[in-house]
Amino acid sequence: MKKLQNILCIGAGYVGGPTMAMIAKKCPGRKVTVVDINAARIAAWKSDSLPFYEPGLREVVRDTIGKNLFFSTDIKSAVAEADVVFVAVNTPTKTFGQGAGRAADLQYWEKTAREIQDWATHDLVVVEKSTLPVRTATAMKRVLESGGSPYRFEVLSNPEFLAEGTAIADLENPDRVLVGSAETPEGLAAREAVVDIYAEWVPRDRILTTNVWSSELSKLAANAFLAQRISSVNALSELCEKTGADVTEVARAIGCDSRIGPKFLKAGVGFGGSCFKKDILNLVYLCESQGLGEAAAYWNSVVEMNAHQETRFVAGMLRAMFNTVAGKRVALLGYAFKADTSDTRETPAKVVADLLAEERADLVVCDPHALDNARVELAPHGDSVTFESDPYRAVAGADAVAVLTDWRQFAALDWRRVFDSMRKPAFLFDGRNCLDHKALFDIGFHVFAVGKAPMSHFD
């Protein structure tokens, strides 16, 4: 198979944009084009203000755009010119019909397949970059080759494992790249051609090749395992609060076991992000549709535990604050689903804000990069939620502060100054266990962290 010189990616989102920018940077001899139906998003990629905040992304785009990286809305010409098409469109949870609330909504993916079929001018390698249910490649091939298309389409799976907030480092130095294909001569040739792209900077022994089904399922499995660790440690956090054990100490103790390892064992208000919940629910749906009820229930419990952690965090706030927050000013520090991103999809902060607003708290939301999204998402609460980019202004006069995103700047605040500006008693709820609780208690806060005994001055 000839070298894949003209690379096209359909979908200029959190995955398509950064992934293709990195390929452009590492493969100066190849031309990379990213297209999207969302003209505003494409315009943002071409501007100084990228569509979202991701550390290091601006520099990679600046160094490649106009040289071998191009953004466009002209899908027709881009497909006609491409040697390989990566599909990185969104695959959210279905909200209607069969499988609603669990299955992946494949309408964007199928529309993309049809666009590729409409505009192809020769045989093409099509690569699933989006996270898709196992066996989607068969459906993709059927759509592409339906209606007597004169061209052959080889469908591969190359799921993306980047994490938002560390996307650039993850892309530059990935733990592994996974490329799955049909194990036919044509499939294997296409697989080698895609591997060659990554081999321009990723060591060969970190590029794994598998059959296409293993590749598709591995992405769902990786996210399910990561989320399961968080739900497991969060399940323990509740027991810690009841028994006097400290979840940080327990996590350290178990993480030292080389079979367990220390990462993803931090208790908190719950996981968020666009992927974990939707991918686990997709796995649950796949298990159910194969008649695997026990496996489906097992994975579903990971999502249920996460929802429980979010609601019990708010219940703990209410309990501590004499069972009422009505009319009290509560400052929420952090709205992004994690630090170093402006992404707020499935953020636990929204659940916390919604529940507190229902309790008629006066909320002030503070985040260094996510306030634009927060304003849109919390608009239904009207005047009961305000937005403030300066944390000191956000906490002034507040009865309580809840840390919901572990932005470094929050840990670095002058907490004495925060305390002095608040109404007393001053409550501090650390939903990310990212603050120095003893120091805060010594300042005078009543401190409530996840999985730790409360530190109260009342008794």
Ligand X SMILES: NC(=O)c1ccc[n+]([C@@H]2O[C@H](COP(=O)([O-])OP(=O)(O)OC[C@H]3O[C@@H](n4cnc5c(N)ncnc54)[C@H](O)[C@@H]3O)[C@@H](O)[C@H]2O)c1
**Number of residues located near ligand X, criterion CB under 6 A:** 26
User: Site for ligand X (CB under 6 A): which residue of 36, 105, 340, 430?
Assistant: 36
Q: State yes or no: residue 174 binds ligand X (CB under 6 A).
A: no
**Given 9, 27, 240, 275, which residue is catalytic?**
275
d(CA 307, CA 295): 19
Q: Where are the beta strands (DSSP E) in 24-83?
A: 31-35, 69-72
Shortest Å distance, C-beta 100 to ligand X? 18
* Residue with Cβ nearer ligand X (33 or 130): 130
Region of 11-19, 317-325, 397-405, 448-456 interacting with ligand X (CB under 6 A): 11-19
Interaction of residue 339 with ligand X, rule CB under 6 A: no
How far is 363 from 379, CA to CA, in rounded Å?
12
Q: Smallest distance from the beta carbon of 88 to ligand X, in angstroms?
A: 5
38-43 long-range contacts, CB within 8 A, separation 24+: 38/12, 39/73, 41/12, 41/13, 42/12, 42/71, 42/72, 42/73
- The DSSP element (H or E) to which 341 belongs, if any, is none
The contact mask relative to ligand X for 16-35 (x = CB under 6 A, - = no) is: x-------------------
- Binding range to ligand X, per CB under 6 A, among 82-90, 149-157, 348-356, 432-440: 82-90
At its nearest, how many Å lie between ligand X and the CB of residue 7?
15
- Is residue 10 close enough to count as binding ligand X by CB under 6 A? yes
Residues 6+ apart with CB under 8 A from 452: 240, 241, 246, 247, 248, 433, 437
Q: Which of residues 259-278 bind ligand X (CB under 6 A)?
A: 274-275
R_g over Cα of the chain:
24
The DSSP bridge partners found for residue 333 are: 366, 403
Asked about 9 being catalytic, the answer comes back as: no
Nearest to 393 by CA among 415, 431, 364, 414: 364
From candidates 4, 13, 102, 222, binder to ligand X by CB under 6 A = 13
Q: Applying CB under 6 A, which of residues 1, 37, 245, 295 lies at the interface with ligand X?
A: 37
Token pair 């059959």 in the structure block, residue: 211
The answer to whether the beta carbons of residues 30 and 23 sit under 8 Å apart is yes
One-letter amino acid at 246 equals D
Residues taking part in catalysis: 275
Residue ranges in contact with ligand X by CB under 6 A? 10-16, 36-38, 41, 88-91, 108, 111-112, 115, 130-131, 160, 162, 164, 274-275
